A and B are shown apart, each in its own frame.
Chain A
């Protein structure tokens, strides 16, 4: 190989691989849909070059002011327990990730999604679509006001129920940091029988569970849960030493 020449790439950080025990195995047969959809070949190592080290700037035209409040989008308020879900987007060195798009989607309080493929007999709520979107602030903080989603049955196995959850989609700063996950609620009795929750190695499961926060409740208005999301961190970067 020729000697590396100085380039933009050499000044960008490399993102650490997450250790084993962090993410689910793609083939997790108890979750039936993985059986025909999980790739069976071992993935090929892709060294991180410019395409992997960079990522899009998203937000303009995608996030409207009311997108962070899922309870005020229609004429009436949706049914259910009003909650505030907030937290920080950080990398695993604890560095906040500012100005980054956070997308959520969820079922309504009865456990029904506003989607034409969800047709189990729980009521739709004409005042709830279940979509939320925001940008993290300068300290990596985000906050959504919504209602607590209900649990719902699905056909994975006999009498299967998904624990209540909110889907989260995160971008971070680079293609490599992209993550989609689900946030769960504390002490859900449905955890034990859910193959999606349990696809994650046991020691890592509690990182998907929000914490109840009395401090973040809005008195006489809403309960509150906090959920910090941690993305892959990088080796020290020039940006760090330059400060902000």
Chain B
């Protein structure tokens, strides 16, 4: 392993006024409204007392429906035209977030298998000195979830359930994110 020559800049909180710098027009649209097959993933961002976090942000990153990423430098496949793969939703007074997206395809797991459809998520807020990283899976992908290496490595179904969005009759999904407490979301060190 190379010896790094420069030391990384430390992380700091986004603070309470993140919306000044982090507001994007249609940031929560990973795909344009009206895209066939699109749906919302929505939920609450909650603190350790179960109170909504009104000054937070959720960012999502995912493959397109064919399992390809709109990555800057990869020569290994391009994503669907116009598909950025990235969403950003700032929470408001009720602590709600939401991204409009399509279900990602399955992606190579690096060991000859496939991962279940998932989004990577970053959570930022006042009071979070470093982003926290989670994933969003889909409850209607039972077979794929059962063999996903990340979900399989978690200790139990309760832990897995903190990362699995549940569909409703309209075809949208719900997943609350709990920063702390009994049902604390599983966060990752990446």
Q: List residues of chain A with CB under 8 Å of any chain B CB.
A: 1-5, 7-12, 16-18, 22-26, 28, 31, 33-41, 43-52, 54-58, 61-62, 90-94, 99, 103-105, 113-115, 117-118, 129-133, 167, 169, 173-176, 178-182, 196, 199-201, 204-205, 207-208, 229-233, 235-236, 239
Tell me the smallest distance from the CB of B158 to a CB of chain A, in Å: 12
Contact of A52 with B190 in the complex, beta carbons under 8 Å = yes
Q: List 12 A-B contacts (CB under 8 A).
A: A33-B13, A33-B126, A37-B128, A50-B108, A51-B63, A56-B84, A92-B5, A105-B18, A129-B20, A133-B21, A178-B59, A200-B10
Partner of B20, one of A8, A54, A56, A114: A114
Within 8 A of A (CB), among B96-134: 107-113, 115, 118, 120, 122, 124-133
In the bound assembly, the distance between CA atoms of A44 and B190 in angstroms comes to: 9
Partner of A1, one of B59, B69, B111, B190: B111
* B150 CB-CB contact with A under 8 Å: yes
Contact of A49 with B2 in the complex, beta carbons under 8 Å = no
Which residue of chain B lies nearest to A51 when distances are taken between CB atoms in the complex?
B120
Across the A-B interface, how many residue pairs have beta carbons closer than 8 Å? 261
In the bound assembly, the distance between CA atoms of A233 and B9 in angstroms comes to: 12
Contact of B112 with A5 in the complex, beta carbons under 8 Å = yes
In the bound assembly, the distance between CA atoms of A48 and B107 in angstroms comes to: 13
Q: Summarize A's interface: helix, strand, loop or mixed.
A: loop
Which residue of chain A lies nearest to B186 when distances are taken between CB atoms in the complex?
A44
B residues near A92, Cβ cutoff 8 Å: 4-8
B residues near A57, Cβ cutoff 8 Å: 70-72, 84
B residues near A46, Cβ cutoff 8 Å: 133, 135, 150, 188-190
Which residue of chain A lies nearest to B84 when distances are taken between CB atoms in the complex?
A56
In the bound assembly, the distance between CA atoms of A91 and B7 in angstroms comes to: 9
Q: Summarize B's interface: helix, strand, loop or mixed.
A: loop
Q: Which of B36-44, B73-81, B165-173 contacts A (4 or more CB under 8 A)?
A: B73-81
In the bound assembly, the distance between CA atoms of A46 and B132 in angstroms comes to: 12
B residues near A173, Cβ cutoff 8 Å: 71-73
Partner of B9, one of A94, A99, A229: A229
Within 8 A of A (CB), among B33-83: 47-49, 51, 53, 55, 59, 61-63, 69-74, 76-77
Contact of B184 with A182 in the complex, beta carbons under 8 Å = no
* B142 CB-CB contact with A under 8 Å: no
User: Given contacts A8-B74, A11-B76, is CB(A38)–CB(B128) below 8 Å?
Assistant: yes
* B138 CB-CB contact with A under 8 Å: no
Contact of B184 with A22 in the complex, beta carbons under 8 Å = no
Tell me the smallest distance from the CB of A169 to a CB of chain B, in Å: 6
Contact of A36 with B22 in the complex, beta carbons under 8 Å = no
In the bound assembly, the distance between CA atoms of A12 and B75 in angstroms comes to: 10
B residues near A5, Cβ cutoff 8 Å: 112
Which residue of chain A lies nearest to B77 when distances are taken between CB atoms in the complex?
A8
In the bound assembly, the distance between CA atoms of A232 and B6 in angstroms comes to: 9
Contact of B1 with A235 in the complex, beta carbons under 8 Å = yes
In the bound assembly, the distance between CA atoms of A12 and B77 in angstroms comes to: 13
Contact of B132 with A113 in the complex, beta carbons under 8 Å = no
Tell me the smallest distance from the CB of B115 to a CB of chain A, in Å: 7
In the bound assembly, the distance between CA atoms of A118 and B127 in angstroms comes to: 16
B residues near A7, Cβ cutoff 8 Å: 108, 110
B residues near A208, Cβ cutoff 8 Å: 9-10, 12
Given contact pairs A12-B76, A91-B6, A208-B10, enumerate 11 new A-B contacts (beta carbons under 8 Å): A1-B111, A17-B189, A24-B11, A26-B130, A28-B129, A37-B180, A92-B4, A94-B6, A167-B21, A178-B122, A179-B11
